[in-house]
């Protein structure tokens, strides 16, 4: 067995009370994008705690660099292209 490599990039989805009500579509969208790009081993999708931006739910951060709220599927695609693909 080889060593499991750490993912190079992480997409954090806020899993706080408010965001988890709204983030399932975006979560699926990111999962699909990662899979379509063949980056399953390079990109991880993880949960994070409330970011204090609940009014903008759902909130995501890409590699803790850019936290954005009010994410739609369209935004998810744009962010993925900008930071991941």
Q: Applying CB under 6 A, which residues contact ligand FES?
A: 14, 16-19, 50-54, 57, 59
Nearest approach in angstroms of CB 33 to ligand FES is: 21
Residue 69 to residue 24: CA distance in whole angstroms: 14
Identity of the residue, 36 or 72, whose beta carbon is nearer to ligand FES in the bound complex: 72
Identity of the residue, 19 or 76, whose beta carbon is nearer to ligand FES in the bound complex: 19
Nearest approach in angstroms of CB 7 to ligand FES is: 22
Q: Which of 80, 56, 60 is nearest to 70 (CA)?
A: 56
In 3-state terms, what secondary structure has residue 72?
A: coil
């Amino acid at each position: 067995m080889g060593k499991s490599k750490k993912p190079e990039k992480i997409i954090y989805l806020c899993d706080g009370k408010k965001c988890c009500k709204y983030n399932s579509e975006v979560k699926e969208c990111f999962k699909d994008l990662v899979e379509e790009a063949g980056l399953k081993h390079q990109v991880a999708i993880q949960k994070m705690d409330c970011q204090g931006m609940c009014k903008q739910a759902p909130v995501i951060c890409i590699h803790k660099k850019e936290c954005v709220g009010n994410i739609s599927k369209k935004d998810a695609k744009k962010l993925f292209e900008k930071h991941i693909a």
